[in-house]
Amino acid sequence: MLELRPNCECCNCDLPPESTEARICSFECTYCSDCAYTFLEGRCPNCSGELVRRPIRPAAKLAANPPSTLRVFKTGGCDATGA
């Protein structure tokens, strides 16, 4: 089950479960589409994996399978990744 993390690790913008702007790698590191393509060139700075669009969990399933509330943010944002 995907965690559906609530924010971009680079810029800390909110990425709610219904966001079409969320991008993830296979380890579920989460970025907004702007950071993923502008700064990270479509690659996760943590594992070098491909960043792809995060699927949207149907609203009817969110109550039984809630998204994560843990915010992951790198101090320094995308600059901290070396990107």
Give pLDDT tens digits along the chain (83 positions).
899 999 999 999 999 999 999 999 999 999 999 999 999 999 999 999 999 999 999 999 999 999 999 999 988 777 765 55
The answer to whether residue 75 is domain-embedded is no
Could you tell me which of 7, 16, 8 has the C-alpha nearest to residue 40? 8
State how many domains the chain has.
1
Q: How many residues does the chain have?
A: 83
The answer to whether residue 19 is domain-embedded is yes
Range of the domain at 13: 1-69
CATH number at residue 23: 3.30.40
Question: Cα–Cα distances in Å, from 47 out to 3, 25, 58, 78, 81?
Answer: 18, 8, 28, 15, 11
15 within 8 A of 28, measured Cβ to Cβ: no
The answer to whether residue 80 is domain-embedded is no
The answer to whether residue 38 is domain-embedded is yes
40 within 8 A of 81, measured Cβ to Cβ: yes
